């Protein structure tokens, strides 16, 4: 299981009414503080400030948010709309909201039974996400063995893709963790992930708790690390994968893919099938969130490093084209080579069919 002292998110029912409790990721690694959401505007603010962040857990936050609105008697449709729009790129957020809303509507769209149904949908999604994380870890580790036989791997990762973003151990970091447990990880290279430092703050926090050998680097140092032959593979997560296999992930992922290709290093994306959005045809159609400039011009809230009035370019994500991605690991199988046909074939598998066959690999 994930080695977090406090879970990324949990539902609680104290005497004064149900709440959604978040581990406030804006405060890590300095302090482990929980943020208690009693209403939907509070949860939307937590999502937008990245107190809760990362695609799979955003799906859970969306689903529990609908349940929170339902059990507390708020306007559920309005709540669902504001939750789904809180951040635009991670498709899991809208999926989670839709799933809980559909369950709520399926039993009449009003009253305690409907509220219970929304909550049950959120809990089911939570459980499924943990199971998907376990399966991705297994498949990702197998893939590592195929790509780099006999290896003690030096893996580079970007942003944070661990237990903080998941009901389980995460996506890409779950694979790294599985390799670490098996004694196969030589070093985890952790991109700091400017501007909000999800790598330096959060991935390093998780790696340290797990006792991994890890090193944090400035994002701009990655090139020289590849050139020195110090990177065996890149493993990252995804916020939305378009039907053609284009991958939107934390800004800075695309340059890593270009570097990886130049240096002949595998570039692997690990994401649950729920992150694949077959309704988005290609990378150009993915809506990329633009965040406030102060996140770039200030090194910490209220600590500017650029002249007053400096303009900033601050996309939260970038898009890596499918031809630069070696493989996409989902809980339903591994897509490689990455193209429209292979991606849709893996996504059309049902989870039960996949585990019945015992074969998660899809190679074309």
Q: What six digits make up the tokens of 84?
A: 């789904």
Please give the backbone phi and psi of residue 84, each rounded to the nearest 5 degrees, phi first: -65, -30
Comparison of 103 and 165: residue with beta carbon closer to ligand MRU: 165
Binding test (CB under 6 A) with ligand MRU, winner from 238, 268, 296, 328: 238
Under rule CB under 6 A, residue 274 binds ligand MRU? no
**Kind and range of the H or E run holding 335:** strand 333-336
- The stretch among 165-173, 184-192, 209-217, 220-228 that binds ligand MRU (CB under 6 A) is 165-173
Under rule CB under 6 A, residue 171 binds ligand MRU? yes
Binding test (CB under 6 A) with ligand MRU, winner from 66, 165, 256, 325: 165
Comparison of 144 and 238: residue with beta carbon closer to ligand MRU: 238
Side-chain half-sphere exposure of 208, counting CA atoms within 13 A = 12
Under rule CB under 6 A, residue 184 binds ligand MRU? no
Query: Among residue numbers 34 through 73, which ones bind ligand MRU (CB under 6 A)?
Result: 50, 53-56
Q: What six digits make up the tokens of 31?
A: 């302090």
Under rule CB under 6 A, residue 159 binds ligand MRU? yes
Under rule CB under 6 A, residue 91 binds ligand MRU? no
Binding test (CB under 6 A) with ligand MRU, winner from 62, 88, 237, 322: 237
Task: For residue 267, give every residue at least 6 positions away whose Cβ sits within 8 Å of its Cβ, in sequence order, or none.
Answer: 233, 234, 236, 256, 257, 260, 261, 320, 324, 325, 326
Decide if 96 contacts 62 (C-beta within 8 A). yes
Comparison of 55 and 115: residue with beta carbon closer to ligand MRU: 55
**Kind and range of the H or E run holding 139:** helix 111-147
Comparison of 20 and 238: residue with beta carbon closer to ligand MRU: 238
Please give the backbone phi and psi of residue 233, each rounded to the nearest 5 degrees, phi first: -160, 155
190 SS3 class: strand
Q: How far is the CB of 29 from ligand MRU (least distance, A)?
A: 15
E strand intervals along 96-141: none
Q: How far is the CB of 89 from ligand MRU (least distance, A)?
A: 8
Comparison of 114 and 165: residue with beta carbon closer to ligand MRU: 165
Helices and strands of the chain, counted as H and E runs: 12, 17
CA separation for the pair 189, 121 (Å, rounded): 37
Comparison of 71 and 200: residue with beta carbon closer to ligand MRU: 200
**Kind and range of the H or E run holding 318:** strand 317-320
Task: For residue 30, give every residue at least 6 positions away whose Cβ sits within 8 Å of its Cβ, in sequence order, or none.
Answer: none
Query: Among residue numbers 97 through 156, which ones bind ligand MRU (CB under 6 A)?
Result: none
Query: Among residue numbers 193 through 212, which ones bind ligand MRU (CB under 6 A)?
Result: 198
Positions touching ligand MRU (CB under 6 A) are 50, 53-56, 90, 159, 161, 165, 170-171, 198, 237-239, 249-250, 316
């Amino acid at each position: 299981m994930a080695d977090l002292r406090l879970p990324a998110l949990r539902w609680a029912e104290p005497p004064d009414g149900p709440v959604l409790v978040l581990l406030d990721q804006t405060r890590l690694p300095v302090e482990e503080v929980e943020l208690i959401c009693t209403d939907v505007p509070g949860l939307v603010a937590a999502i937008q400030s990245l107190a809760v962040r990362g695609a799979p857990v955003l799906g859970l936050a969306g689903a529990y948010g609908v349940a929170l609105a339902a059990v507390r008697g708020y306007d559920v449709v309005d709540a669902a709309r504001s939750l789904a729009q809180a951040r635009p790129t991670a498709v899991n957020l809208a999926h989670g909201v839709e799933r809980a809303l559909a369950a709520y509507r399926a039993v009449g769209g009003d009253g305690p039974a409907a509220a219970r149904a929304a909550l049950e949908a959120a809990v089911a999604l939570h459980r499924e996400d943990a199971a998907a994380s376990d399966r991705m870890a297994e498949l990702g580790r197998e893939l590592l063995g195929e790509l780099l036989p006999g290896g003690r791997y030096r893996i580079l990762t970007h942003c944070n893709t661990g237990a903080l973003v998941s009901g389980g151990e995460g996506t890409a970091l779950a694979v790294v963790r599985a390799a670490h447990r098996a004694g196969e990880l030589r070093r985890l290279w952790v991109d700091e992930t400017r501007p909000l430092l999800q790598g330096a703050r959060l991935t390093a926090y998780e790696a340290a708790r797990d006792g991994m050998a890890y090193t944090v680097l400035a994002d701009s140092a990655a090139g020289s690390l590849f050139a020195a032959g110090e990177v065996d593979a890149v493993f990252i997560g995804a916020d939305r994968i378009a039907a053609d296999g284009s991958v939107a992930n934390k800004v800075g992922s695309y340059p890593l893919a270009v570097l990886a290709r130049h240096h002949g290093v595998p570039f692997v994306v690990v994401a649950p099938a729920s992150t694949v959005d077959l309704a988005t045809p290609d990378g150009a159609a993915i809506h990329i969130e633009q965040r406030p400039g102060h996140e770039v011009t200030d090194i910490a809230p209220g600590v500017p490093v650029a002249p007053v009035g400096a303009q900033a370019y601050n996309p939260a994500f970038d898009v890596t084209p499918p031809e630069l991605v070696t493989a996409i690991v989902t809980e339903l199988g591994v897509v490689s080579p990455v193209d429209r046909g292979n991606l849709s074939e893996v996504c059309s598998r049902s989870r039960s069919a996949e585990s019945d066959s015992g074969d998660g690999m899809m190679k074309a």
